Structure 1
Amino acid sequence: MPYHLHFGEADPLRIRFAISPLWETHSAVRVLARPAKQGYHLPWMRRIAGAARGLDLAPLHLLMPHRGHSPDSLYPPPLGPAASFDEEIAAVRATDPALALVDFERALAETPGAAESAEGRRMLADPAGAVERLADLLRAAWEALIEPDWPRLRALLEADVAHHSRRLAEGGLERLLGELHPAFDWAAETATLRVAYPGEHVRPLGGQGLVLVPSVFTWPDVVSGFDPPWQPTVAYPARGIGGLWSEPGGRTPEALARLLGPVRADVLCALDEPMGTTALAHLLGRAPSSVSSHLSVLRDAGLLSSRRYGHQVLYERTPLGIAVSQPDAK
């Protein structure tokens, strides 16, 4: 049975997107526990293999059953549209131990023998201490696995939000929810969002609205099932994951590099999704000032357009820029 999220009269007015570094950390840790789900992330897996070996992620993996409940208190819905990891992990550390205990009991029950293991018994005997230890592990995982690539990841996630925000403006809520992911099915007659996911979960939104969280490491799944008191939330795979870990220089046509210069051509070809100067500079391994100069030239030449999104300016290819950078595209 799919998940059913029932919208009330006020809920469509309270839909928001959010980006969560804590959620990406949690999802990346889960990927490490599921070798069959590496998929697009194999280049990342190879690069962080040494750092991952230096982390004892077993306590986190114990609370990540293959199917079923994971502790919402460890990975709560994002606090705002772009909270920092420090803000999110501080909220985790402030979890009521009684609430954490219920979460741990539910998650451990999903895996035979987990509650009786030494670590499981330790969590259940001292939930407050377990929250602190697990928060420390999440911070270590963030610093080792995600933070070095966060500008690149954040750029892709922000581009996804910008794209779907435009779709919402163009076609309304029904179009947005119908296009976010194949697992979504919007039933207008009952104002219900059905999410194809193993398990059974029915939740009236109750005026809280819905948080939509694009994610890199959630791929290929859509994740929901947050229970009260948490705000209803759905995490879904962001657009553009297929090219996330590829090197831009390898995608630059040689003729284009001769025409524009290799660096400027790399800048143009790297913009598969809208991106800001800092993220693009991180992706290309170049100084932001140099990338900014090339972006200005490409924009003045009509190959790029720019628009402000939140605290930064996002650049994307114009139809002419697409034609130039992808001459074989139909």
Structure 2
Amino acid sequence: MFEFALGVDDLAATWFTYSPLQEAVFSLRARRYPAKYAFQARWMESWEPEFRTLDVPLLDSLVTPRVWVPDFLTPRPVVRRPSFESELEILARTPPATVVKDFRAAYRGDGAPVPEPLAGLLDDPAELLARCVAQLGAYWERCLLPRWWARARTVLEADLAHRGRMLAERGAEGLFADLDHRLSWHAGVLRLIDPDPRVRALGGRYTPVAGRGLVLAPTLFSLGAHTVIDADEPPLISYPARGKALMGESSPPPVPGALAELIGPPRARLLVLLDRPASTTALAHRLAVTPGAVSRHLTALATAGLLTRTRAGRTVLYARSPLGDALLSAGS
């Protein structure tokens, strides 16, 4: 069991964000256990030729057989919605001693031997770190960024929007209860119970947040909430992103005929898709049309009161309004 003690000030300083670097590293879990991440299968197939041009043995070894990840590879975000490039710069500044410590801790906790090429590189942690940074950067640029990240970011943004609503409507207790079945909140303590016996072997951990802030990060590559291995690291909990199964969608959901006749097929299709917040770019990717075409229809739907608009950083997210929900229900 992991327990995080939050005072009033700590609770006020608890915040949500997502990490592109974390998603890149965690995505390597899907290569080890593709059946557990079936909704990512078509994406992995699409970038496999590019992946094969990288240092596959090194990238595969960044995740242990039981999908543990060395803590330094997923540094806690220091800003909301960080860029991959800024996080990679932080990773590149990891002290060599930390690289060795975290790799050994991950494989020791997993109970697996350190594989090659890691075993041979641990004697030269600066070189190992440089290779990790270079290969993760190339993996992002060649495999994840071209198409996958636009869809992934939309799902993560939608999760953050949902969490904001939950906090406003149900408070901290309702928010934490909605994150994941492994998490519970009582009397100022957030508890995380992991079913993995190797995780439980780490023993109970009571962590006063004590002004360090608690960061909660949705991820598309987790079967349950989890935290960092090293108790001395700043508090971070990753949890399964709401709506992550949307990554496996190969075609938009069907549109009710009556609704299509009423407002036209393109706008009806958008109304169906927007049960969760999404950006213009992400919708364009899902529909295989230009962002300009989507934007015109979104503007018309929002003007009619069928959609709401919320700004998330530099991105505008659209979602169905109560009137849009009512229209969709009536047209189904």
TM-score by length of 1: 0.89
* Superposed CA RMSD: 2.3
Could you say if the C-alpha distance between residues 205 and 61 of structure 1 is closer, same or farther in structure 2, counting changes exceeding 3 Å? farther
1:287 to partner: Cα distance: 2.1
In 2, distance between residues paired with 1:68 and 1:266? 38
Tell me the residue number matched to 1:135. Answer: 133
Could you say if the C-alpha distance between residues 41 and 69 of structure 1 is closer, same or farther in structure 2, counting changes exceeding 3 Å? closer
Tell me the residue number matched to 1:288. Answer: 291
Contact kept in structure 1, 2:19 and 2:77, CA below 8 Å: yes
Contact kept in structure 2, 1:252 and 1:325, CA below 8 Å: no
Tell me the residue number matched to 1:70. Answer: 69
- Is residue 2:220 matched to residue 1:216? yes
In 2, distance between residues paired with 1:311 and 1:265? 26
Tell me the residue number matched to 1:11. Answer: 10
Residue identity over aligned pairs, in percent, reads 36
Write out aligned runs for 1:83-232 (5 A): 83-110=82-109, 114-115=113-114, 117-147=115-145, 148-188=147-187, 191-197=188-194, 198=196, 199=199, 200-202=203-205, 203-218=207-222, 220-227=223-230, 229-232=232-235
- Is residue 2:37 matched to residue 1:34? no
> Secondary structure in 2 aligned to 1:209?
coil
In 2, distance between residues paired with 1:192 and 1:57? 41
In 1, distance between residues paired with 2:204 and 2:25? 21
Could you say if the C-alpha distance between residues 294 and 9 of structure 1 is closer, same or farther in structure 2, counting changes exceeding 3 Å? closer
Q: Which moved more, 1:69-78 or 1:158-167?
A: 69-78
> Secondary structure in 2 aligned to 1:194?
strand
> Secondary structure in 1 aligned to 2:217?
strand
**Of 253, 270, 275, the match for 1:267:** 270
Q: Which amino acid aligns with 1:214?
A: P
In 2, distance between residues paired with 1:162 and 1:152? 16
Q: Which moved more, 1:312-321 or 1:61-70?
A: 61-70
Could you say if the C-alpha distance between residues 257 and 224 of structure 1 is closer, same or farther in structure 2, counting changes exceeding 3 Å? same
In 2, distance between residues paired with 1:76 and 1:158? 20
1:248 to partner: Cα distance: 5.0
Aligned pair count reads 324
C-alpha offsets along residues 142-166 of structure 1, whole Å, 9 cap, x if unaligned?
A: 1233212212211111111111112
C-alpha offsets along residues 134-184 of structure 1, whole Å, 9 cap, x if unaligned?
A: 111211221233212212211111111111112112222122111111111
C-alpha offsets along residues 216-275 of structure 1, whole Å, 9 cap, x if unaligned?
A: 122x22221353553211111111122333245443234433332222222222212111
Q: Which amino acid aligns with 1:207?
A: G
In 2, distance between residues paired with 1:5 and 1:90? 29
TM-score by length of 2: 0.89
C-alpha offsets along residues 57-111 of structure 1, whole Å, 9 cap, x if unaligned?
A: 3223324224485211111112211110000011111111111111122123345
In the alignment, structure 1 segments of 5+ residues that lack a partner are none
C-alpha offsets along residues 182-235 of structure 1, whole Å, 9 cap, x if unaligned?
A: 1111122xx2211121323512222212101011122x2222135355321111
Q: Which amino acid aligns with 2:136?
A: L
> Secondary structure in 2 aligned to 1:95?
coil
- Is residue 2:327 matched to residue 1:324? yes
